[in-house]
Amino acid sequence: MNLAEMLINGAVSLLPMSLVIFIGGGGIWLLNRIATRRAAAVPGRDTFRRQLILAVLSTMLLLAIIVSAPLPESTRANLITLFGIALTATIAISSTTLASNAMAGLMLRIINNFKRGDFIRIDQFLGRVTEQGLFHTEIQNERSDLVTLPNLFVVSTPVTVVRLSGTFISAKVSLGYDLPHDEIEKHLIKAAESAGLVEPFIRILELGDFSVLYQVSGRLEDTKKFLGGKTALHRAVLDTLHRNGIEIVSPSFMNQRQVTDAGKFIPKVKKKTAAKAKETAGPDTVVFDKADQVEKAEDLRSLLKALDEEISALEAKAKEAKTKETEGDEADEAEKIQQTIHQRRRTRAKLVERIEKLEAEVKD
């Protein structure tokens, strides 16, 4: 066999593997390019699905290269066995960490019971969701700190999600048996209403040895003011009870000062009507700054999705009008649709710019 025949036979034997590499590698590259362009159309879009698909396809391509390689059957079988052992060992070694958290991340995406910007409680952690990754979930707590929770912990722990339609908040106070409960309940209801709560109600939680434990609850409609709402409720309870001459004193209260029989431990309140408190942003806006930005970005992405659907519908309508276009009114209608599409695209460009700005601020 001369050199030319050897080269031809070698090229023919390498042809299947070359085709697999060319077609498979080119397909993965093209898929990644298309997914990247689609992700760039909506800034901040999660790359979780793209990364997962590319990882699976790359593994399949490597296996296909081994199968199509011009190797003896025994060598190919050994390589496939070695590949399977390596893959199994990798999954087994990381099963308690990476793989477990990745599977937990998949489970969270399937359940989809909360999203970025939502107020949640997981075990002792309370805050708003700022990131949802493949391996972790990040929340911003009441101290404005960012807490990273493994997804395995999140799926194995009960998660409380504060509903956007409102949530009930409460305050507890213990008062003496010498105070009539109907009067106390009336004052606590007024306190809840003055704190801006809706549908307030009272519960008597405990009849203690020395005091009665009351709980006043009401629905907070604006859940973005969760921390500020609880503070406002406690403040309203203090003000309402003190202004009505009701002491909030522990049964073990001790003070060495001499007081008269009529003495009461109530802060002095000016007789003049107190000035209305100035409206402020409240602690929630300061504490959950990143969560607020994330939520705004999510809302803008929802608007962007709706706008894309509207543009697609208009483009289909314009195409239909163009096929029927003759003279007069139909031509004018097609022109109006094109103008509307142009306006929507300009609006889309502005939305994309705003989303990019918000996402940049979040990353900073």
- The radius of gyration computed from the CA coordinates of the chain, to the nearest angstrom, equals 33
**Quick one: which of 217, 214, 196, 193 has its CA closest to 205?**
214
Residue 239: pLDDT above 60?
yes
Contact 120, 111 (CB under 8 A): no
At 204, list the tokens. 């008597």
Q: Please state, as a whole number, how many other Cβ atoms lie within 10 Å of the Cβ of residue 264.
A: 11
What amino acid is encoded at 200 in this protein?
Answer: P
pLDDT digits (tens, 9 = 90+) for 109-136: 888 888 888 888 898 898 888 888 888 8
Contact 48, 133 (CB under 8 A): yes
At 321, list the tokens. 């009008």
The pTM of the full predicted model, rounded to 2 decimals, is 0.51
Q: Please state, as a whole number, how many other Cβ atoms lie within 10 Å of the Cβ of residue 279.
A: 6
Which pLDDT does position 133 carry in this prediction? 83
Q: How far apart are CA 349 and CA 361, in angstroms?
A: 19
CATH architecture assignment, domain 169-280: 2-Layer Sandwich (3.30)
Alpha helices (H) in the chain, listed in sequence order: 3-41, 48-68, 73-93, 98-111, 151-155, 181-194, 226-243, 282-287, 289-323, 329-363
- Give kind and range of the element (H or E) at residue 169: strand 167-175
* CA within 13 Å, CB half, 345: 10
pLDDT digits (tens, 9 = 90+) for 54-102: 778 888 888 888 888 777 778 878 888 887 887 777 666 655 677 788 8
Per the model's pLDDT, the better-predicted residue between 259 and 170 turns out to be: 170
Average pLDDT value for residue range 104-108: 87
Residue located via tokens 């939502």: 118
Q: How far apart are CA 236 and CA 115, in angstroms?
A: 33
Q: Which residues contact 93 (CB under 8 A, 6 or more apart)?
A: none
Quickly list DSSP for 14-53: HHHHHHHHHHHHHHHHHHHHHHHHHHHHSTT---HHHHHH
Contact 345, 311 (CB under 8 A): yes
Question: Among 9-13, 172-176, 195-199, whose mean pLDDT is lowest?
Answer: 9-13
Per-residue pLDDT band at 234 (split at 50, 70, 90) = very high
Per-residue pLDDT band at 171 (split at 50, 70, 90) = very high
Contact 102, 136 (CB under 8 A): no
Sheet with 198-207: list strands edge to edge.
Answer: 167-175, 212-220, 198-207
pLDDT digits (tens, 9 = 90+) for 284-337: 665 566 677 777 777 787 888 888 888 888 888 877 777 766 555 556 777 788
Domain residue extents for the chain: 3-93, 114-161, 169-280, 288-363
Which pLDDT does position 69 carry in this prediction? 79
Contact 58, 28 (CB under 8 A): yes
Contact 135, 98 (CB under 8 A): yes
What DSSP character marks residue 223?
A: G
What DSSP character marks residue 279?
A: P
Q: What is the CATH number of domain 114-161?
A: 2.30.30.60
